[in-house]
């Protein structure tokens, strides 16, 4: 009867995964990300997949800047890049350097109007939510 009503449902008993005790077994990164999110969440809503992915990245690379920090680094670099683009490029976080590409890009941005930089270029560092 169960097989007829739900043909894709297995009737085999499931084996429950072992309970992960702190310090005994290594916690898989995805579970660690969920636990870290649950421990720090104050909204009370279930997390979205994107929130767990963001927490996973934070756990894997804790020194990686978020979007706001990356843009702040670039904006500070742009302000001095008309004559010192190479030095300013070297000060950026390695991930931010990859996004910017090369010191010449900072120099080109330094020649643009501030309004264009703060709107058009800054939008490349922002994530849609």
Q: Lowest-pLDDT range, 85-94, 95-104, 117-126? A: 117-126
For helices 29-40 and 49-60, the axis angle rounded to 10 degrees is 110
Residue 24 has pLDDT above 50, yes or no: no
Instruction: Please give the residue range of the domain that contains residue 71.
Output: 67-123
Give the rounded percent of residues in the chain with a pLDDT score beyond 90. Answer: 33
User: Looking at the structure, do residues 119 and 78 belong to the same domain, yes or no?
Assistant: yes
Q: How many domains are contained in the chain? A: 2
Q: What's the mean per-residue pLDDT of the chain?
A: 79
Asked if 2 contacts 9 with a C-beta cutoff of 8 angstroms, the reply is yes
Helix (H, G, I), strand (E, B) or coil at 49: helix
Residue 91 shares a structural domain with residue 107? yes
Please check whether residues 72 and 117 belong to one and the same domain.
yes
Higher pLDDT residue, 127 or 125?
Answer: 125
Which of 3-7, 35-39, 117-121 is predicted with the least confidence, judged by mean pLDDT? 3-7
pLDDT score of 51 more than 70 = yes
- Choose from 47-51, 71-75, 117-121 the range with maximum mean pLDDT: 71-75
Residues 118 and 88 reside in one and the same domain: yes
Instruction: Note whether 73 and 116 are same-domain residues.
Output: yes
- DSSP annotation of 45 reads S
Contact 29, 60 (CB under 8 A): yes
CA 107 vs CA 15, 103, 114: distances in Å:
60, 7, 13
DSSP string, 15-31: PPPPP--TTTSPPPHHH
Within this chain, do residues 57 and 71 fall inside the same structural domain, yes or no? Answer: no
């Amino acid at each position: 009867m169960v097989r007829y009503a739900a043909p894709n449902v297995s009737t085999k008993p499931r084996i429950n995964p072992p309970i992960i005790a702190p310090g005994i077994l290594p916690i898989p990164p995805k579970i660690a990300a969920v636990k870290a999110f649950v421990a720090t969440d104050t909204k009370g809503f279930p997390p979205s997949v994107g929130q767990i992915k963001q927490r996973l990245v934070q756990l894997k690379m804790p020194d990686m800047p978020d979007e706001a920090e990356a843009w702040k680094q670039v904006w500070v670099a742009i302000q001095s890049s008309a004559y010192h683009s190479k030095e300013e490029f070297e000060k950026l976080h390695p991930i931010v350097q990859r996004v910017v590409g090369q010191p010449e890009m900072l120099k080109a941005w330094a020649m643009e109007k501030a309004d264009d930089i703060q709107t058009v270029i800054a939008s490349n560092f922002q994530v849609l939510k």
